[in-house]
Amino acid sequence: MSERRPKGWPARATIVEVGLRDGLQAERASLPTATKLALAEQLLAAGLRHLEVTSFVSPKAVPQLADAAELLAALPRRPGVELSALVPNAKGAERAVAAKVDAMVVFLSASESHNKKNLNRPIEQSLADIAEVTMIAEAARIPVHAAISVCFGCPFEGEVPLSRVLEIAEELAMLGIRHLSIADTTGMATPPLVRERVEALRQALPGVRLALHFHNTRGIGLCNVMVGLDCGIDRFESSIGGMGGCPFAPGATGNICTEDLVYLLHECGVETGIDLEALIAAAKAAEAAVGHPLPGQVMKAGPRLKLHPLEAVRTAAG
């Protein structure tokens, strides 16, 4: 497979599955904890080793994830598997410590308007909250990852200056963050913007490992992944079946789809350690669980070389 891999691309990529959190928070109905647990088990069985399973935000804000502690308590811990959770503030961090998360994910936006909608506070206050969270996590010896939302454009302010993204990323690095996700919350990223921001961030913060988090709102999510790969990025966040969408941003449709992403990577000679057929089965289970069609494509068509019985297809007449 290595001969298929474009020059400069990583030989292996890490996939962070965010469907249980970012996907389910966008659903109107809350799934039973047992259903979430069964889906998590399927994802792990398919070979995923990084699951963002829930969020310790206020249940009033996101009732779909009100069972955060119960879900983490039910999930078995396995060597090599990281179960992370989104944490908005010190109270959430304390709940996350009690639930024994493997990693905390802190977050804020690159625009003031989106930060106020998403977190109900200015960016300066969010950075202060993150400083508190990192102290709590450090005391509990739990690693902290960070995510910056709307890095490629804001639905309220329009263009987000690169300087603003760099400024916030540098503030996070000073707080000890060494894993940083650059998020395209509303699907406003384009290949030129991805290249610009990734190259600038890698130059400014060589000690920080970057991940990319794309939504497929305008249909070019996987194009943006390919630019990220070309820049040497080897960590991507995606959602099973393409579930997702920010409830605090207009027009934000689903994340890039995990099985579509894995298919792309495998066909380009980039290893993931994930069984695509098992992942497709998990996507179909997720679709059944939420009770409506999901946007994933590979779950419908199957892998490229999936064969069909000749007699099962009608012959053209005339």
Q: Which residues are catalytic?
A: 246
Name every residue whose Cβ is closer than 8 Å to that of residue 198 and which is 6 or more positions away in sequence: 182, 210, 212, 227, 228, 231, 233
Under 8 Å between Cβ of 208 and 177: yes
Distance separating alpha carbons of residues 56 and 71, to the nearest angstrom = 11
Alpha carbon distance 100, 295 (integer Å)? 33
**Are the C-beta atoms of residues 53 and 82 closer than 8 Å to each other?**
no
Question: Rounded distance, CA 303 to CA 313, Å?
Answer: 18
Contact (Cβ atoms closer than 8 angstroms) between residue 117 and residue 248: yes
Residues 6 or more apart whose Cβ sits within 8 Å of residue 105 = 52, 84, 85, 86, 87, 144, 145, 146, 147, 181
Cα 252 from chain centroid (whole Å): 14
Burial class (CB in 10 A: 0-12, 13-18, 19+), 7: exposed
**The two structure tokens encoding residue 141:** 């010896």
Q: Which residue intervals of the chain are DSSP H helices?
A: 33-45, 68-74, 90-98, 112-119, 123-139, 162-174, 191-204, 221-230, 258-267, 276-290, 298-301
φ/ψ of 250, rounded to 5, equals -65, 135
Distance CA 232, CA 279 (A): 25
The Cα–Cα gap between 223 and 190 comes to: 8
